């Protein structure tokens, strides 16, 4: 078991208790979010379930439906625990979708630039670098304002803001590999370009891309929450964590802190856990830190 | 050196041209501002008159040419919403944002660099681990959430600091400053802290990584062999060696901090540019959006230019090349 | 006879790594008189550089001095608190490193680096420190020292940089200078100049010198005495001329035989068979035994103790030659 690459990777990963806990937290949160329709006390989208008599009640309140709202209720009388579970679902969905598309587009561009070199690389990487020097949040902000609200629009905005990180990473790793003698030799033989790209360049760019992808999924979730908090992300019919927090913000001054705080805690735990996992994976892929 | 400067200036101008075109097309290609400008029951005549007045009947390239020409003469157009020249509007909001951004970046550097150097110098110590935990939180937790917590703790629960607004200001040189009054300063603390946390985390990481790398080098070993105290080594040798990436990032991050001010200003109702752009986005106030984005692009290009120059000044190996 | 300036006894520096304990220095002893030049010779990984760093108490973790004694001017350095050890370094014992390109700080002016080294031990004004720095730079043969103080290291050639590093070591007139392969990274022509300079500097100031090198030829041109290291130990020590002409340890003999200058033209060089052992797995008993042409397994299973007088010693059960006086 320990002799397979995965086994070795896991054995090294296990050496950091913090990273193991973080991974467990990520798995637990994703499982809870996936199981939301079955485990949540209430379907927060079903307006028939909501009663204004239950609105803004503190944690532990027993509502008109007869069960306990462990985390309280929000301004519409929604059970906060249910809203958070469903909100996590949306946040994770957005993060994964944005991360996957950004990875596919960015890595393709980076590989293309590294493989073709010359003016293709010059133009692609010039645009990528220009965009990297520009804050992602501003780009996402303007794009989501221009595109309007909706899941597809939001993912588009997130991908546009994030693909450049993947492109830069893939280009860096692939062009370092490209310069090695064996690729030069392979390019001189009648081997197809596709073979060079997929058999040699792609596998070598995967480790750094995995690291960037982990961090960027967390960033996408944070960015989505920020946009939703500012009222620019998802429509009201898709209440992600950011929107739950924004909705609770106005009640915070009057001491009803739970409406913002609990969704916030769920969001933070998820993001920090993903980042910790990413940190560990990066350290393991980084040969410079090894003794 | 002069050739380097000219080359950089030319590149910067080219980038600005491309950016302005992208911004213009991006903003103008989407949405119809007429819907915002006029009430739905406006007559056809008023509609046509308004369209003509804002030049919206012209083809896009024509509009861009007019826009570019006006831009070069300092005319950014008029805000649809505020009905005043955009340049004037932006300039009136700029000082508040600059004040906030400067306070945040300075705080991040002055606190983050020493902490990072310590964490890199004694990586196994509990203090270093605590510092790194702070940096992980500063990196991963979204700015808006930290802002909420700051308000919750310091305004709602403790009641120490105000939760929003700019407080009393003093006019110096026709510009209002919050830092100069105690009340203004108390309003500045929370938003500046909020805005600085991400940069703080970044500065800590940079300083730590640089210090760790530097401490293992022969340069430091040689300084130790000469009997320099650890304090002198950190203060003179290490700080100077890690200052190059830090100055670079300081410059680059100044621009992104301006952008992140959007979030902080919204939470703390700080009357700066960030709040203006959010309001303009929600009301589709095109001229303000375009002007803001062009301005941000200009800030970025300028900063990149300055960083390149500072780089040349800081690293003697890049500057005067000829050996003595 | 005067007391030696430096007495090293049973010095041991070990590195605790994941793969085990590397005994880089394991029981090194020697003494150094005023103005004496000791050549410390060995292959890479023989522990010679670590010995040099251990003398200044500059061993990086995971390395640690685990035993022995280093007495400088009668004062014990091992176990000295860091603050006091710092006061000794650079003032009483100094060091010159291998690669001058990496020892000087690339972003500080030479004058500032030297000023820091001066004020580390003496409270003097910047002007006085500068004058001192210029004076020492002149002594190591750098033309126009005053102007050079405002230059950055990258504006100097490799040889000039190494002269600056030597000047830093000489600033406080230390009793001992450790030179760790200071000419290895330089051109051969520059090497010769530095060697000559070093010899005259040491002679005029009475500074003792430990010259660490893998190059027997370079060391023999400079040193009064030679110490040969193998696998963390000094296996042979004696006056340079004697060690070169009549080596006692088979390892020294092997080193000499593999020198190009000793070889007959047309006859292939004779390298020592086998490889230097990893410091993690030093053979039991005599460490050289697996490569030794004279080894008798039964006897060599026990580590040989140094034999001979205080001036001429070797760690070998079967030394090659014996001085007639001792053989008797």
* pLDDT over threshold 70, residue C165: yes
Closest among C157, A51, C154, C55 to B318, alpha carbons compared: C154
Partners of A268 on chain B (C-beta within 8 Å) are 140-141, 145
Across C197-203, average pLDDT: 83
* Residue A226: closest CA among A249, A246, A198: A246
| Sequential DSSP letters for A104-149 | HHHHHHHHHHHHH-HHHHHHHHHHHHHHHTS-HHHHHHHHHHHH-S
Cα C166 to the chain's mean position, in Å?
14
Task: Please write the tens of the pLDDT for every residue from C217-253.
Answer: 888 888 889 998 888 888 888 888 888 888 888 888 8
Looking at every residue in chain C, the average pLDDT score rounds to: 83
Q: Considering the domain boundaries, does residue B59 fall inside one?
A: no
pLDDT at C328: 38
In a domain? residue B324? no
Residue C262's pLDDT band, with cuts at 50, 70 and 90, is: low
**Which pLDDT score, from 0 to 100, does residue A97 have?**
92
Nearest to C99 by CA among C153, C41, C56: C153
Chain A residue closest to B268 (CA)? Answer: A249
Q: Does B157 fall in a domain? A: yes
CB contact under 8 A, C120 and B229: yes
State the DSSP code for B255: H
Looking at chain C, which residue has its C-alpha nearest residue B243? C107
Average pLDDT, chain A: 78
Contact yes or no for C51/C232 (Cβ under 8 A): no
So what's the pLDDT on residue B256?
77
The confidence band for A105, taking pLDDT boundaries of 50, 70 and 90, is very high
Where are chain A's structural domains? 7-42+76-289
* pLDDT tier for residue A56 given thresholds of 50, 70 and 90: low
d(CA B175, CA B102): 15
3-state DSSP call for residue B78?
strand
Of B142, B143, B152, the CB nearest to A252: B152
Closest-CA distance, C58 to chain B, in angstroms, reads: 7
Instruction: Tell me if C20 sits within 8 A of C12, measured CB to CB.
Output: no
Q: How are strands ordered across the β-sheet holding C75-76?
A: C20-32, C6-17, C63-72, C75-76
Q: Which of A253-267, B202-216, C5-19, C156-170 has the lowest mean pLDDT?
A: A253-267
Residue B307 counted as domain residue: no
| Beta strands in chain C, from DSSP E residues, in sequence order | 6-17, 20-32, 37-41, 63-72, 75-76, 93-96, 176-180, 208-213, 225-230, 233-239, 307-308, 313-314
Residue A100: per-residue pLDDT: 92
Tell me, what's the pLDDT at C320?
78
C-alpha distances out from residue C263 to A49, A126, C240, C258, Å: 99, 60, 19, 8
pLDDT at residue C323 is higher than 80: no
- Decide if B140 is inside a domain: yes
- Buried b / exposed e over B104-133, threshold 16 CB at 10 Å, is bbebbbeebbbbbbbbbbeeeeeebeebbe
Residue ranges in B151-284 assigned as alpha helix (H) = 182-215, 218-225, 230-232, 239-267, 273-282
Residue B167: give its domain's CATH number.
1.10.3720.10
Beta carbons of A255 and B156 less than 8 angstroms apart: yes
What is the rounded end-to-end Cα distance, in angstroms, of chain A?
Answer: 23
d(CA C267, CA C203): 39
Q: Which of A130, A255, A257 sits opposite B15 (nearest CB)?
A: A130
Interface contact flag, A260 B148, Cβ < 8 Å: yes
Residue ranges of chain B with pLDDT lower than 70? 1, 28-40, 54-56, 167-168, 172-175, 179-180, 311-312, 314-324
For residue A276, pLDDT over 70 is answered with yes
Compute CA distances B157 → B21, B162, B163, B308, C160, whole Å: 48, 12, 11, 46, 65
In a 10 Å sphere around its CB, with 0-12 CB exposed, 13-18 middle and 19+ buried, how is residue A237 labelled? exposed
When mean pLDDT is compared across A65-69, A253-257, C69-73, the lowest value belongs to A65-69
Q: Nearest-CA distance from A197 to chain B in Å? A: 32
Residue B295 lies in a domain: no
How is B18-33 classified by DSSP, letter by letter?
Answer: HHHHHHHHHHHHSS-H
Does residue B306 belong to any structural domain of this protein?
no
Condensed to tens digits (0 to 9), the pLDDT of residues C40-52 reads 988 877 888 888 8
Q: How far is CA A158 from the centre of its chain?
A: 10
Comparison of pLDDT for A157 and B255, the residue scoring more: A157
- Other beta carbons within 10 Å of C70: 22
**Nearest C-alpha of chain B: how many angstroms from C181?**
14
Q: Which residues of A touch B133 (CB under 8 A)?
A: none
Does residue B152 fall inside a structural domain?
A: yes
Residues on chain B touching A21 (C-beta within 8 angstroms):
none
The pLDDT of residue C259 is above 70: yes
Q: Which residue of C97, C106, C156 is in closest CB contact with B222? A: C97
Q: Taking Cα atoms as reference points, which of C200, C255, C198, C203 lies closest to residue C226?
A: C255
What Rg value do the Cα atoms of chain A yield, rounded?
23
B16 to B13, B196, B262, B292: CA distances (angstroms): 5, 28, 22, 13
CB-nearest partner of B217 from C58, C102, C112 = C102
User: Among candidates A204, A269, A11, A223, which has minimal Cα distance to A97?
Assistant: A223
Beta strand C93-96 with C75-76 is: unpaired
Q: pLDDT value at position B324?
A: 32
Where in C33-184 does DSSP place strands (E)?
A: 37-41, 63-72, 75-76, 93-96, 176-180
Set of chain C residues whose Cβ sits within 8 Å of the Cβ of B236: 108, 112, 116
Domain range for B219: 86-282
**What are the tens digits of pLDDT across the range A220-247?**
888 888 888 887 877 777 778 888 888 7
Q: In which element (H, E) is residue B171 found?
A: strand B170-172
HSE on the CB side for B265, CA within 13 Å? 24
What confidence score (pLDDT) does residue A47 get? 66
Q: Could you tell me the pLDDT band of residue C327, with boundaries at 50, 70 and 90?
A: very low
Cβ neighbours of B228 in C, within 8 Å: 86, 90, 116-117, 120
Inter-chain contact B324–C151, Cβ cutoff 8 Å? Answer: yes
- Selected residues 202-241 of chain A with any CB under 8 Å from a CB in chain B: 218, 222-223, 225-226, 229-232
Distance (Å, rounded) from C-alpha A64 to C-alpha C316? 95
Count of structural domains within chain B: 1
Confidence check: pLDDT of A101 > 90 = yes
Which residues from C are below 8 Å from B when comparing CB atoms? 53, 56, 58, 60, 86-91, 94-95, 97-99, 102-108, 112-113, 116-117, 120-121, 147-148, 151-152, 154-157, 165, 168-169, 171-172
- Whether the pLDDT of residue C277 is over 90: the answer is no
**The tokens of C7 are what?**
């007495």
For domain A7-42+76-289, the CATH class is mainly alpha
Contact A245, A80 (CB under 8 A): no
Query: What pLDDT sits at residue A286?
Result: 66
pLDDT higher at A70 or C285: C285
Q: In the prediction, which pLDDT does C325 show?
A: 47
Q: Is B316 on the interface with C (CB under 8 A)?
A: yes
Q: Please give the C-alpha separations between residue B264 and each of A68, A228, B27, B182, B194, in angstroms, as whole numbers.
A: 36, 15, 24, 21, 7
Chain B positions with Cβ closer than 8 Å to A: 15, 26-27, 30-31, 136-137, 139-145, 148-149, 151-152, 156, 163, 252, 255-256, 259-260, 262-263, 266-267, 277-278, 281-282, 289, 293, 296-297, 300, 304
B155 vs A65: CA distance, rounded Å = 35
Lookup result for tokens 């310069």: A179
CB atoms within 10 A of CB B76: 21
Q: Based on C-alpha coordinates, what's the Rg of chain C? A: 21
Q: For the residues C276-303, what does the mean pLDDT come to?
A: 77
User: Which residue does chain C place closest to B244, by CA atoms?
Assistant: C107
Across B141-171, b (16+ Cβ under 10 Å) vs e yields: bbbbbbbbbbbbebbeeeeebbbbebeebee
CB atoms within 10 A of CB C314: 25
Sheet containing C313-314: order of strands: C93-96, C176-180, C208-213, C37-41, C225-230, C233-239, C313-314, C307-308
Q: Which of B137, B256, B282 sits opposite A135 (nearest CB)?
A: B256
Say how far apart CA A273 and CA B313 lie, in whole Å. Answer: 41
């Amino acid at each position: 078991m320990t002799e397979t690459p995965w086994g070795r990777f896991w054995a090294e990963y296990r050496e950091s208790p913090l990273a193991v806990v973080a991974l467990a937290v990520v798995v637990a949160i994703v499982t809870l979010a996936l199981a939301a329709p079955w485990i949540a006390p209430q379907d927060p989208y079903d307006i028939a379930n909501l009663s204004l008599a239950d609105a803004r009640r503190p944690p532990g309140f027993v509502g008109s439906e007869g069960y306990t709202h462990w985390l309280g209720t929000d301004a519409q009388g929604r059970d906060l625990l249910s809203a958070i579970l469903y909100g996590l679902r949306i946040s994770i969905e957005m993060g994964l979708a944005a991360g996957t598309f950004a990875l596919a587009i960015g890595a393709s561009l980076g590989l293309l630039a590294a493989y073709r070199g010359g003016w293709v690389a010059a133009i692609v990487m010039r645009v990528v670098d220009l965009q990297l020097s520009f804050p992602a949040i501003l780009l996402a902000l303007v794009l989501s304002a221009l595109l309007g609200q909706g899941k597809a629009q939001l993912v588009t905005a997130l991908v546009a803001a994030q693909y450049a990180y993947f492109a830069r990473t893939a280009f860096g790793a692939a062009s370092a590999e490209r310069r090695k003698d064996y690729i030069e030799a392979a390019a001189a033989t009648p081997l197809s370009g596709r073979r060079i790209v997929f058999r040699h360049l792609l596998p070598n760019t995967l480790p750094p891309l995995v690291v960037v992808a982990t961090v960027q999924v967390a960033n996408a979730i944070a960015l989505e929450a920020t946009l939703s908090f500012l009222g620019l992300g998802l429509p009201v019919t898709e209440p992600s964590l950011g929107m739950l927090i924004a909705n609770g913000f106005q009640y915070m001054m009057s001491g009803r802190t739970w409406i913002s705080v609990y969704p916030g805690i769920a969001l933070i735990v998820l993001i920090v856990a993903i980042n910790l996992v990413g940190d560990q994976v990066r350290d393991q892929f980084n040969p410079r830190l090894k003794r | 050196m002069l050739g380097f400067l000219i080359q950089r200036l030319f590149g910067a101008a080219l980038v600005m041209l491309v950016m302005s075109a992208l911004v213009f097309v991006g903003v103008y290609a989407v949405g119809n501002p007429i819907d915002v400008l006029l009430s739905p029951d406006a007559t056809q005549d008023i509609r046509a008159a308004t369209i003509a007045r804002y030049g919206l009947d012209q083809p896009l390239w024509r509009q861009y040419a007019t826009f570019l020409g006006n831009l070069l003469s300092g005319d950014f157009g008029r805000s649809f919403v505020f009905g005043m020249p955009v340049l004037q509007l932006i300039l009136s909001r700029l000082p508040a944002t600059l004040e906030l951004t400067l306070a945040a970046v300075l705080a991040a550097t002055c606190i983050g660099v020493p902490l990072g150097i310590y964490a890199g110098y004694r990586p196994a110590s509990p203090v270093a681990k605590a510092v790194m935990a702070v940096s992980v939180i500063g990196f991963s937790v979204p700015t808006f959430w930290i802002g909420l917590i700051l308000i919750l703790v310091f305004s709602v629960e403790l009641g120490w600091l105000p939760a929003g607004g700019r407080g009393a200001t003093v006019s110096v040189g026709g510009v209002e400053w919050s830092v100069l009054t105690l009340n203004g300063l108390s309003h500045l603390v929370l938003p500046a802290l909020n805005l600085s946390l991400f940069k703080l985390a970044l500065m800590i990481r940079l300083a730590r990584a640089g210090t760790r790398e530097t401490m293992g080098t022969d340069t430091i070993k040689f300084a130790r062999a000469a009997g320099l105290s650890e304090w002198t080594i950190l203060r003179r040798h290490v700080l100077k060696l890690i200052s190059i990436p830090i100055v670079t990032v300081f410059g680059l991050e100044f621009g992104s901090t301006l952008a992140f001010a959007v979030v902080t200003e919204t939470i703390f109702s700080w009357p700066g540019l960030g709040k203006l752009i959010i309001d303009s986005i929600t009301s589709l106030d095109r001229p303000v959006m375009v002007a803001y984005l062009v301005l941000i692009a200009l800030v970025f290009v300028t900063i990149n230019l300055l960083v390149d120059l500072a780089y040349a000044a800081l690293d003697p190996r890049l500057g005067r090349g000829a050996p003595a | 006879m005067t007391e030696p300036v430096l007495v090293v006894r049973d010095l041991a520096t070990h590195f605790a790594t994941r793969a085990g304990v590397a005994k880089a220095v394991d029981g090194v002893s020697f003494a150094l008189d005023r103005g004496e030049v000791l050549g410390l010779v060995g292959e890479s990984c023989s522990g010679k550089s670590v010995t040099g760093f251990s003398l200044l108490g500059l061993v990086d973790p995971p390395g640690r001095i685990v035993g022995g004694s280093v007495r400088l001017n009668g004062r014990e350095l091992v176990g000295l608190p860091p603050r006091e050890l710092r006061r000794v370094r650079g003032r009483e014992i100094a060091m010159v490193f291998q690669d001058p390109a990496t020892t000087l700080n690339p972003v500080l002016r030479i004058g500032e680096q030297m000023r820091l080294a001066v004020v580390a031990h003496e409270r003097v004004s910047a002007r006085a420190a500068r004058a001192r720095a210029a004076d020492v730079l002149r002594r190591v043969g750098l033309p126009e020292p005053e102007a050079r103080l405002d230059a950055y290291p990258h504006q100097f050639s490799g040889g000039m940089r190494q002269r600056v590093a030597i000047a830093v070591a000489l600033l406080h007139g230390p009793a001992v200078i450790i030179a760790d392969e200071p000419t290895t990274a330089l051109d051969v022509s520059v090497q010769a100049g530095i060697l000559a300079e070093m010899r005259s500097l040491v002679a005029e100031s009475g500074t003792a010198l430990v010259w660490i090198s893998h190059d027997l030829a370079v060391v023999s041109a400079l040193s009064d005495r030679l110490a040969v290291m193998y696998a963390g130990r000094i296996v042979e020590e004696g006056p340079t001329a004697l060690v070169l002409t009549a080596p006692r340890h088979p390892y020294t003999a092997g080193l000499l035989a593999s020198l190009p200058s000793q070889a007959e033209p047309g006859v292939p060089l004779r390298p020592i068979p086998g490889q230097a052992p990893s410091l993690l797995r030093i053979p039991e008993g005599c460490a050289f035994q697996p490569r030794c042409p004279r080894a008798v397994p039964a006897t060599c299973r026990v580590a040989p103790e140094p034999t001979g007088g205080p001036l001429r010693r070797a760690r070998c059960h079967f030394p090659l030659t014996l001085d007639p006086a001792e053989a008797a």
